[in-house]
């Protein structure tokens, strides 16, 4: 659970509660607090705390992006995906290809800096991605959907390509990957989940601070979606599961 609040001294802070849940009030350890920056709204700050480090680590630590490399971002209309698109541009990516489930979300990905945006459905996904990269295999794919979409993603990678999975919103199981399949093109498949990293290092580390500084300068611009009263938390979860949302959802006590 991410929270925005004030300390006893009245300072606005952003905090992370490792056990999750929803509450009007909570206690947060000092190591999980980071000071907010002027000009950064509460919703933007909430997006930066967890989704920001996820996007940062996916690109920097796991995929190890190099300048000029092509990057495919699945579910680019969501909070994390839209940040990945923007940070990929910040880190010097070459061609950025976004996938999303609707025209509106694809337009949003383009507005956030993607060079191309295509339908993210599993059927025909490989062909659409390769067409968007002018027929060339891609260097990096970041996937939070899983199942058949992950299967298709593997087939879009070129030599020394990297596929990073960090979610399975489709609730479907991907096909088994054999070592020999990876060896043929020297492909890497990796996974990532940010929560253990935050629990171990604290939320007030380098990435959230740097991301808040960048956000204050509108680089990146976190995508804030709908806001719900705390009593409507169930509605928020149902909208999220129904893929009716864009960006970071906010619950207000």
Q: What is the pLDDT of residues 134-149, one digit of tens each?
A: 999 999 999 999 999 9
Q: What is the pLDDT of residue 7?
A: 57
Please report which helix (H) or strand (E) contains residue 179, including its range: helix 179-184
Task: Determine the number of helices (DSSP H) and then strands (DSSP E) in the chain.
Answer: 9, 11
- Higher model confidence: residue 91 or residue 197? 91
Q: What is the pLDDT of residue 90?
A: 93
Asked whether the predicted pLDDT for residue 208 surpasses 70, the reply is yes
CA 81 – CA 129 distance, rounded (Å):
16
**DSSP secondary structure, 126-143, as one string:** HHHHHHHTTTPPEEEEEE
Q: How far is residue 171 from each of residues 59, 150, 152, 194, 215, measured CA to CA in Å? A: 24, 12, 16, 19, 32
pLDDT band of 50, cuts 50, 70, 90: confident
- Higher model confidence: residue 2 or residue 211? 211
Query: Quick one: tokens of 47?
Result: 């997006």
Q: How far is residue 143 from each of residues 33, 153, 192, 202, measured CA to CA in Å? A: 29, 8, 10, 25
pLDDT band of 103, cuts 50, 70, 90: very high
Mean pLDDT across 186-200: 90
Asked whether the predicted pLDDT for residue 43 surpasses 60, the reply is yes
- In the chain, how long is the greatest CA-to-CA distance? 59
Q: Where are the domains of the chain?
A: 2-51+196-252, 64-193
Which range, 64-68, 77-81, 245-249, has the best average confidence (pLDDT)?
Answer: 64-68
Least confident residue range of 15-29, 50-64, 142-156:
15-29
CA 239 – CA 78 distance, rounded (Å):
13
Mean pLDDT across 191-219: 81
CATH code of the domain made up of 64-193: 3.40.50.720
Query: Quick one: tokens of 43?
Result: 């919703």
DSSP 8-state assignment for residue 174:
P
Instruction: Enter the pTM of the model.
Output: 0.85
Mean pLDDT across 158-178: 93
pLDDT band of 220, cuts 50, 70, 90: confident
Query: Quick one: tokens of 247?
Result: 């960006």
List pLDDT tens digits, range 55-67. 999 999 999 999 9
């Amino acid at each position: 659970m991410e929270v925005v609040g004030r300390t006893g001294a009245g300072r606005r802070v952003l905090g992370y509660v490792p056990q999750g849940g929803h509450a009007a009030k909570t206690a947060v350890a000092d190591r999980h607090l980071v000071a907010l920056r002027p000009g950064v709204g509460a919703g933007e700050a909430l997006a930066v705390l967890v989704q920001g480090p996820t996007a940062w680590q996916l690109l920097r630590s796991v995929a190890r992006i190099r300048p000029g490399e092509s990057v495919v971002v699945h579910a680019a209309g969501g909070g994390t995906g839209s940040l990945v698109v923007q940070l990929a541009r910040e880190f010097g990516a070459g061609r950025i290809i976004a996938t999303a489930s609707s025209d509106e979300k694809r337009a949003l990905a383009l507005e956030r800096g993607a060079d191309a945006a295509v339908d993210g459905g599993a059927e025909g996904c490989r062909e659409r991605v390769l067409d968007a990269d002018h027929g060339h295999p891609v260097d990096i794919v970041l996937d939070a959907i899983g199942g058949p979409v992950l299967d298709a993603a593997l087939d879009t990678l070129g030599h020394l390509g990297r596929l990073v999975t960090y979610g399975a919103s489709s609730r479907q199981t991907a096909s088994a990957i054999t070592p020999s399949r990876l060896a043929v093109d020297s492909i890497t498949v990796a996974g990532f989940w940010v929560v253990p990293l935050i629990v171990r290092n604290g939320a007030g580390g380098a990435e959230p601070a740097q991301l808040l500084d960048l956000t204050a300068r509108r680089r990146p611009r976190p995508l804030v979606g709908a806001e719900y009263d705390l009593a409507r938390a169930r509605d928020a979860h149902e909208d999220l599961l129904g893929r009716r949302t864009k960006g970071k959802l906010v619950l207000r006590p």
